[in-house]
A and B are shown apart, each in its own frame.
Chain A
Amino acid sequence: MIEVNKDNFEQEVINSNKPVIVDFWGPSCQPCLELLPQVEKLSEAYKDKVKLVKVNSAGNRRLCIKLRVMGLPSFLAFKNGKEVKRISGQDLTIKEIEELIKSIA
């Protein structure tokens, strides 16, 4: 999964041909860190249909504010450059994330 920041957000997410899921995480968000390796696996499994990228909220506060992400972990689904769905919360399970991926695949 590639790291996205304000410089490549447009290119990697908005202009992507494939639907994109953006995983917002942070270094002091333990649930985020627990999820990351499992999300990497999903990214591999669904790579033909959906692109998964991650944003470290700690270095990208502006981007978070712009997208109105105020809670971690958050997963935003983009299709044709538009946000179509998001899920968020410290009790998110990998199953719910997979459902989100499937819903836009």
Chain B
Amino acid sequence: MQLKRAINFFELWEMTGVVTMNNYDVIIVGAGPAGLTAALFNARSKLKTLCIDEIGNGGQAAITDLIENYPGFPEGITGSKLTIKMAEQVERFGAEKITEKVQKLKLEEEYRVVVTNQSKYRAKAVIIASGASPRMLGCPGEIDFRGRGVSYCATCDGAFYEGSNILVIGGGNAAVEEAVYLTKFADKVTLVHRRQELRAAKVAQERAFTNPKIDIIWDSVVEKISGNSSVEKVILKNVRSGERREMFVDGVFVYAGLEPNSAWVKGVVRLDEKGNILTDENMCTNIKGVYAAGDVRRKLLRQVLTAASDGAIAAFHAERYIESQFYGS
């Protein structure tokens, strides 16, 4: 679909040299699966599209070992391969990509302005696809031993734990899948979960239950991580009995849930009590011309496929909005 081009007020202003700002049709914040898919759809519609990510491409999916539930890859595909391909596809259709940290979203009449740590960009519509980050345990020692035994990325750090004894915290898909992945390196992996049953998909659970290197400790949380130059010991607390136990371990991998990356839009778009962005089924937020897609939204199934799907829907509605708001009769 080709949009009718009309010169608007701001563009006229800029031509006269009164203001300079980088102008786009759509700005997408985040280049994980949701953001990359939105960028693909908008760029293919010939909208002037900018995608901003503070790190690079791929988001959480880039640090996932094997993705087995994204259709089209019967053998599974590594998260890094899949997201590199997604980024190449976006490039092919000409979306612009930059590496900056987005700090604020501002509304200027019918325009949406994205403020980064380096510049300002203005667009007719914005798609928020800033995803989620691992939730920290919040126990003493966690921050001190980060990079020296505490990790949030098994594909990054797993190989440092050859022959060692490690804990994986959590009971969802990420925790169980990464626990299985870590048995490639570690001699022993203990999964520690605060409840009595896992939330992970049944296939993943079965792999964990039948893996001789994996033990599970139920109903327990980590109370303290300690050591000298690296992690040596944790204290676990049973949440039912209140009993504590000490365990000697070389590493702790944390997959205890997610925090949405939405602090930068707080007060601008509507969030739920956990910071997830509220949208309707068209990915519209409460603000006109502002959409949200992927893990940053309130939803139940947080996966690569659903993030990509959200991205496509958001891009579609952003395009329709631009057409009617800026070029409509």
The number of chain B residues touching the other chain, given as a range, is: 20 to 34
What distance in Å separates the Cβ of B105 from its nearest Cβ neighbour in chain A?
19
B158 / chain A contacts, CB cutoff of 8 Å: 28
Contact partner of B156 (CB less than 8 A), chosen from A31, A64, A95, is A31
Contact partner of A31 (CB less than 8 A), chosen from B56, B146, B160, B230, is B56
Tell which of A29, A31, A90, A92 has the most Cβ of chain B within 10 Å. Answer: A90
B149 / chain A contacts, CB cutoff of 8 Å: 70
B54 / chain A contacts, CB cutoff of 8 Å: 93, 95
Contact partner of A57 (CB less than 8 A), chosen from B133, B153, B159, is B159
What distance in Å separates the Cβ of B20 from its nearest Cβ neighbour in chain A?
23
Chain B 139-159, CB within 8 Å of chain A: the 1/0 string?
000000011111111011111
> A84 interface residue, CB < 8 Å from B?
no
CA distance A30 to B117 in the complex (A): 23
Q: Is the CB of B57 within 8 A of A90?
A: no
Q: Is the CB of A72 within 8 A of B117?
A: no
Q: Is the CB of A68 within 8 A of B156?
A: no
A86 / chain B contacts, CB cutoff of 8 Å: 147
Chain A positions 72-105 with a Cβ under 8 Å from a chain B Cβ: 72-74, 86, 88-95
Contact residues of B: prevailing secondary structure:
mixed
Tell which of A38, A57, A89 has the most Cβ of chain B within 10 Å. Answer: A89
Chain A positions 1-55 with a Cβ under 8 Å from a chain B Cβ: 26, 28-35, 38
Q: Is the CB of A74 within 8 A of B147?
A: yes
Total number of residue pairs linking A and B with CB closer than 8 Å:
91
Q: Is the CB of B160 within 8 A of A95?
A: no
Chain B positions 157-188 with a Cβ under 8 Å from a chain A Cβ: 157-162
What distance in Å separates the Cβ of A79 from its nearest Cβ neighbour in chain B?
20
Q: Is the CB of B56 within 8 A of A34?
A: yes
Q: Is the CB of B159 within 8 A of A90?
A: no
With contacts A38-B99, A68-B148, A70-B149 taken as known, whether A58 is within 8 angstroms of B159 at the C-beta atoms is yes
| Residue on A nearest B158 in the bound complex, by CB | A28
Q: Is the CB of B155 within 8 A of A71?
A: no
Q: Is the CB of A30 within 8 A of B155?
A: yes
A29 / chain B contacts, CB cutoff of 8 Å: 153, 155-157
> B55 interface residue, CB < 8 Å from A?
yes
CA distance A73 to B152 in the complex (A): 12
| Residue on B nearest A58 in the bound complex, by CB | B159
A95 / chain B contacts, CB cutoff of 8 Å: 54, 101, 117
| Residue on B nearest A86 in the bound complex, by CB | B147
> B324 interface residue, CB < 8 Å from A?
no
B153 / chain A contacts, CB cutoff of 8 Å: 29, 31, 71-72, 90
Q: Is the CB of B160 within 8 A of A70?
A: yes
Tell which of A29, A30, A90, A92 has the most Cβ of chain B within 10 Å. Answer: A30
CA distance A74 to B156 in the complex (A): 11
CA distance A92 to B56 in the complex (A): 11
Q: Is the CB of B58 within 8 A of A89?
A: no
A32 / chain B contacts, CB cutoff of 8 Å: 156
CA distance A89 to B150 in the complex (A): 10
> B241 interface residue, CB < 8 Å from A?
no
| Residue on B nearest A90 in the bound complex, by CB | B153
Q: Is the CB of A91 within 8 A of B229?
A: no
B285 / chain A contacts, CB cutoff of 8 Å: none
Chain B positions 113-156 with a Cβ under 8 Å from a chain A Cβ: 117, 133, 146-153, 155-156
> A69 interface residue, CB < 8 Å from B?
yes
Q: Is the CB of B148 within 8 A of A30?
A: no
CA distance A31 to B64 in the complex (A): 11
Q: Is the CB of B57 within 8 A of A88?
A: no
A73 / chain B contacts, CB cutoff of 8 Å: 156
Please name the 6 residue pairs, one residue from A and one from B, whose CB atoms are nearest each other, closest first.
A34-B56, A88-B147, A71-B147, A90-B153, A30-B62, A29-B156
Q: Other than A28-B156, A74-B147, A91-B133, give 5 A-B pairs with Cβ distance below 8 A.
A: A28-B80, A28-B155, A30-B155, A71-B156, A71-B160
